[in-house]
Every structure is written in C-alpha cells, then in structure tokens.
A and B are shown apart, each in its own frame.
Chain A
Amino acid sequence: DIQMTQSPSSLSASVGDRVTITCRASQGISKSLAWYQQKSGKVPKLLIYAASTLHSGVPSRFSGSGSGTDFTLTISSLQPEDVATYYCQKYNSAPWTFGQGTKVEIK
C-alpha cells in the first residue's frame, strides 16, 4: 500500500506568516490528493481536492500544489482561526490513506 508522510508533524508560526506543509506519497498518485483541516474537538473539513482545487467556501489564503509524489499545502497569511491539525489523503485507489497530520499553532 502507498504510504503518506507529512512534514513537519507540528509547527508554530506568527499571525501573517506564510505556512507550508508537505505531504509525500511513497508512490506516484498523480493529482489524487486532498487536504483537510480539523480544529480541536471538531469534524474534519475538506479544504482542497485534486491537489490544488479549493473546495467551496474555503478562504483563498489556502492553496495546494504538487503531483506525483510531492504535495504542498500553503497558508499564505496565517490567521488565528487556522489553528488546527491538517491532514493529506490520497484517493487514487484504495486504501484512501491519510497522512499522520500536521498541527499548526500560533507563536
């Protein structure tokens, strides 16, 4: 099975900073990658699918890029409401494996 590895596991940044999270697949998955945000105690929310397509209602400060094995989620200007854990998920074929998550905090 394809493994999904996120880095870093956690990060702390200041409001307004540009934040980048990386997700690497152990084999190529084309652009079959989604990103989710999960705030503490809440249900996960879809942010991005097809590696770079913003889901409806998601703020434009979020963006995704990549294809094949290397993917990036970028928050262009970190806001206090972005404190959350972010997960990537591959969906080219079963199993639809998630990355282990990246916890984003405000410095």
Chain B
Amino acid sequence: EVQLVESGGTLVQPGGSLRLSCAASGFTFSSHWLHWVRQVSGKGLVWISHIKTDGTITNYADSVKGRFTISRDNAKNTLFLQMNSLRAEDTAVYYCARGGTSSSIVGLDYWGQGTLVTVSS
C-alpha cells in the first residue's frame, strides 16, 4: 500500500525557517517524481514544487522561489521541503504527493494527509 506521511509542521515566527519531511513507503521511491502542494484553510490547492526521481531537476512556484528548497533522500525514502524566510501567507496545510515516473506522467496519484504550518508571531 502506498503511503506518504508528512511531518514537521508547527507554529513558527515570521522570518523563521522550518523543514518538512515526507516519509514514503509501499512503492519504489526512487522511480517517482515527488511534489509539494499547499492549501490555505478554506481555499484552493496551490502547487509549490517538484523534484525529479534522482533529484537533478527541481522547480518552484514563483511565490516560494528563492525561499523554499525541495530535496529527497532516495536511500531513506524521504522527501523534504526546507522553508526559509517564512511569511504569514505561507500558513497552510502542506501535502506531499507522488507524481509519475520518468516514462509516465499521470498527475498526482497519491497524497499524504498533510502537515499544518502556521506562520505567526
């Protein structure tokens, strides 16, 4: 069974940093692109970032470019999101999601339960 479990969300002050983790199981982690998506309470889904199977390609939404860094550890089946210079508008539930493989893109077919990040003084 595919499982994605996020952790690391908490209350942090504006300007602070936080690292989110997403532990994966039930599939060949190193074969899939992985994504972060966030959602402000009561609002829509916002794509944040993705990373290629081997970590050599990363992309970001303009809203987080230069502040957030996505990475992965294929040996530990874990995805990360390093969040720096946090702002109040970064307050949201952050989901990790599984993308396709290098040969097949099928959208985001599995999602974690999400972890809540609150940026407030």
Contacts and interface: CB of A to CB of B under 8 A. Distances in A.
A34 B112 contact: no
Interface string A75-107: 000000000010101010011111111000000
Contacts of A49: 105-107, 109
Nearest to A56: B109
Most chain B beta carbons < 10 A, residue from A48, A95, A100: A95
- Count class of interface residues, chain B: 20 to 34
A97 B37 CA distance: 10
Given A36-B45, A46-B109, A95-B62, 18 more contacts: A34-B106, A34-B108, A36-B107, A36-B108, A43-B112, A43-B113, A43-B114, A44-B37, A44-B111, A45-B111, A50-B106, A87-B45, A89-B45, A91-B105, A91-B107, A94-B50, A98-B37, A98-B44
B45 A46 contact: no
A53 B106 CA distance: 9
Given A1-B62, A43-B95, A43-B113, A95 B47 contact: yes
A85 B43 CA distance: 10
Given A97-B47, A98-B44, A98-B46, A55 B114 contact: no
B109 A55 contact: yes
Contacts of B59: 94-95
Contacts of B88: none
In the complex, which of the residues B46, B60, B107, B111 has the most CB atoms of chain A within 10 Å of its own CB atom? Answer: B107
